Structure 1
Amino acid sequence: MERDEKLRPATSYTSTSLHEAVKLRRDEKDTIGVQSVPEFFREACQKYAQLPALVWEQSAEQQDWITLSYADYEKRVEQAALMMLHVGLEERSSLAVLAFNCPEWFFAELGALRAGGVVAGIYPSNSAEACYHALVTSDATVCVVDDDKQMAKLRAIKHRLPRLKAVIQLHGPYESFVNQEPDYFSWQQLTQTLETLDTDQLQQELERRERGIYANDCAMLIFTSGTVGMPKAVMLTHDSVVYDTKIVSATMENTVLGAERLVSYLPLSHIAAQIFDIFVAMSHGGCVYFADKDALKGTLVRSFLKAKPTRMFGVPRVFEKFQERLVAAEAKAKPYSRLLLSKAREVVAQHQLAIIAGEKVSLYAQAKYWLATLIVRPIRQMLGLELCKSFLTGGAPVSPELKQFFLGLDMPLADVYGMSETGGAITLNESITNLYSSGAPILGTEVKIDKPDVNGQGEILMRGRNNFMGYLGEPAKTEEAITPDGWLHSGDVGYLDTHGNVVISGRLKELIITAGGENIPPVHIEELIKHELPCVSNALLVGDHRKYLTVLLALKTKSDASTGLPLDQLREETIEWLNELGLQQTLLSELLNIPADLQLPSDANALAAALEINAEPKLLEALEAGIKRANKNAISKAQCVQKFALLPHEFTLATGELGPTLKIRRNIVHTKYGPLIDRLYK
Structure 2
Amino acid sequence: MYDLKPATSYTSTSLHEAVKLRLDEPGSFTKTVEPQTIPQFFREACENYADLPALVWETPGSGVDGWTTLTYSEYQERVEQTALMLLGVGVEERSSVGILAFNCPEWFFAEFGTLRAGAVVAGIYPSNSAEAVYHVLSTGEASVCVVDDAQQMAKLRAIKDRLPRLKAVIQLHGPFEAFVDQEPEYFSWQKLQERTFSNELREELVARESRIRANECAMLIFTSGTVGMPKAVMLSHDNLVFDTKSATERLQDVQIGKESFVSYLPLSHVAAQIFDVFLSLTHAGCVTFADKDALKGTLIRTFRKARPTKMFGVPRVFEKLQERLVAAEAKARPYSRLLEARARAAVAEHQITLIAGKSPSIYGNTKYWLASRIIKPIREMIGLDNCRVFLTGGAPTSEEMKKFFLGLDMPLGECYGMSETGGAVTLNVQINNLYSSGKACEGLSLKIQEPDCNGQGEILMRGRSIFMGYLGLPEKTEETVKEDGWLHSGDLGYLDPKGNLVISGRLKELIITAGGENIPPVHIEDLVKKELPCVSNVLLIGDHRKYLTVLLSLKTKFDGKTGIPQDALREETIEWLRDLGIHETRLSELLNIPSDLQLPNDTAAQAAALEITAEPKLLEAIEEGIKRANKHAISSAQKVQKFALIPHEFSLATGELGPTLKIRRNIVHAKYAQVIERLYK
Q: What TM-score results when the alignment is normalised by the length of structure 1?
A: 0.77
Tell me whether 1:17 sits opposite 2:11 in the alignment: no
Q: Distance in 2 between matches of 1:461 and 1:397?
A: 18
Deviation for aligned residue 1:677: 8.1
Q: Distance in 2 between matches of 1:434 and 1:217?
A: 39
- Name the amino acid aligned to 2:56: V
Moved more, 162-171 or 223-232: 223-232
Q: Distance in 2 between matches of 1:485 and 1:252?
A: 29
Q: 1:415, 1:428 within 8 Å by CA — same for their partners in 2?
A: yes
The alpha-carbon distance between structure 1 residues 503 and 333, as it changes in their structure 2 partners (threshold 3 A), is same
Deviation for aligned residue 1:225: 3.0
Provide the residue aligned with 2:45 in structure 1: 44
Q: Distance in 1 between matches of 2:11 and 2:504?
A: 29
The CA RMSD measured in Å over matched residues stands at 3.5
Alignment of 1:154-165 (within 5 A): 154-165=156-167
Provide the residue aligned with 1:64 in structure 2: 66
Tell me whether 1:191 sits opposite 2:190 in the alignment: no
3-state secondary structure, aligned to 1:398: coil
Deviation for aligned residue 1:661: 11
Gaps of 5+ in 1: 512-521, 528-539, 544-548, 558-563, 567-610, 612-636, 650-654
- Name the amino acid aligned to 2:91: L
Alignment of 1:571-610 (within 5 A): none
Provide the residue aligned with 2:137 in structure 1: 135
Gaps of 5+ in 2: 515-520, 526-537, 550-586, 588-600, 613-618, 624-629, 655-681
Provide the residue aligned with 1:398 in structure 2: 397
Deviation for aligned residue 1:491: 1.3
Deviation for aligned residue 1:100: 0.3
- Name the amino acid aligned to 1:451: E
Count of matched residue positions in the alignment of Structure 1 and Structure 2: 563
3-state secondary structure, aligned to 1:59: coil
3-state secondary structure, aligned to 2:440: coil
Deviation for aligned residue 1:322: 0.3
Give CA deviations for 1:325-373 in whole Å, capped at 9, x if unaligned.
1111111111111111111111110100000000111111000001111
Q: Distance in 1 between matches of 2:308 and 2:602?
A: 46
Q: 2:128, 2:635 within 8 Å by CA — same for their partners in 1?
A: no
The alpha-carbon distance between structure 1 residues 374 and 114, as it changes in their structure 2 partners (threshold 3 A), is same
Give CA deviations for 1:32-85 in whole Å, capped at 9, x if unaligned.
111100000000000000000000011289951000000010000000000010
Give CA deviations for 1:455-504 in whole Å, capped at 9, x if unaligned.
21111010001100000000010000011100101111111111111000
The alpha-carbon distance between structure 1 residues 550 and 347, as it changes in their structure 2 partners (threshold 3 A), is farther
Provide the residue aligned with 2:115 in structure 1: 113
Tell me whether 1:103 sits opposite 2:105 in the alignment: yes
Q: 1:395, 1:661 within 8 Å by CA — same for their partners in 2?
A: no
Q: Distance in 1 between matches of 2:381 and 2:202?
A: 48
- Name the amino acid aligned to 1:21: A
Q: Distance in 2 between matches of 1:457 and 1:480?
A: 21
Provide the residue aligned with 1:515 in structure 2: none
Provide the residue aligned with 2:356 in structure 1: 357
Provide the residue aligned with 1:171 in structure 2: 173
Q: Distance in 1 between matches of 2:634 and 2:406?
A: 28
Give CA deviations for 1:163-209 in whole Å, capped at 9, x if unaligned.
000000000011110000010000011112x23x4x20110100110
Tell me whether 1:425 sits opposite 2:424 in the alignment: yes
3-state secondary structure, aligned to 1:503: strand
Q: 1:315, 1:661 within 8 Å by CA — same for their partners in 2?
A: no
3-state secondary structure, aligned to 2:115: helix
Deviation for aligned residue 1:669: 4.5
Deviation for aligned residue 1:509: 2.0
Q: Distance in 1 between matches of 2:364 and 2:445?
A: 39
Deviation for aligned residue 1:228: 2.6
- Name the amino acid aligned to 1:85: L
Q: Distance in 2 between matches of 1:448 and 1:126?
A: 36
Q: Distance in 1 between matches of 2:189 and 2:276?
A: 22
| Bigger CA radius of gyration | 2
The alpha-carbon distance between structure 1 residues 87 and 483, as it changes in their structure 2 partners (threshold 3 A), is same
Q: Distance in 2 between matches of 1:312 and 1:656?
A: 34
Q: 2:226, 2:509 within 8 Å by CA — same for their partners in 1?
A: no
Alignment of 1:226-625 (within 5 A): 226=225, 228-510=227-509
Provide the residue aligned with 2:23 in structure 1: 26
3-state secondary structure, aligned to 1:454: coil
The alpha-carbon distance between structure 1 residues 676 and 333, as it changes in their structure 2 partners (threshold 3 A), is farther
Q: What TM-score results when the alignment is normalised by the length of structure 2?
A: 0.77
Deviation for aligned residue 1:660: 7.3
Q: Distance in 1 between matches of 2:61 and 2:418?
A: 35
Deviation for aligned residue 1:113: 0.3
Q: 1:657, 1:669 within 8 Å by CA — same for their partners in 2?
A: no
Q: 2:249, 2:442 within 8 Å by CA — same for their partners in 1?
A: no
Q: Distance in 2 between matches of 1:659 and 1:426?
A: 28
- Name the amino acid aligned to 1:228: V
Provide the residue aligned with 2:93 in structure 1: 91
Deviation for aligned residue 1:553: 9.8
Q: Which runs of 4+ in 1 moved over 6 A?
A: 549-554, 643-649, 655-662, 679-682
3-state secondary structure, aligned to 1:81: helix
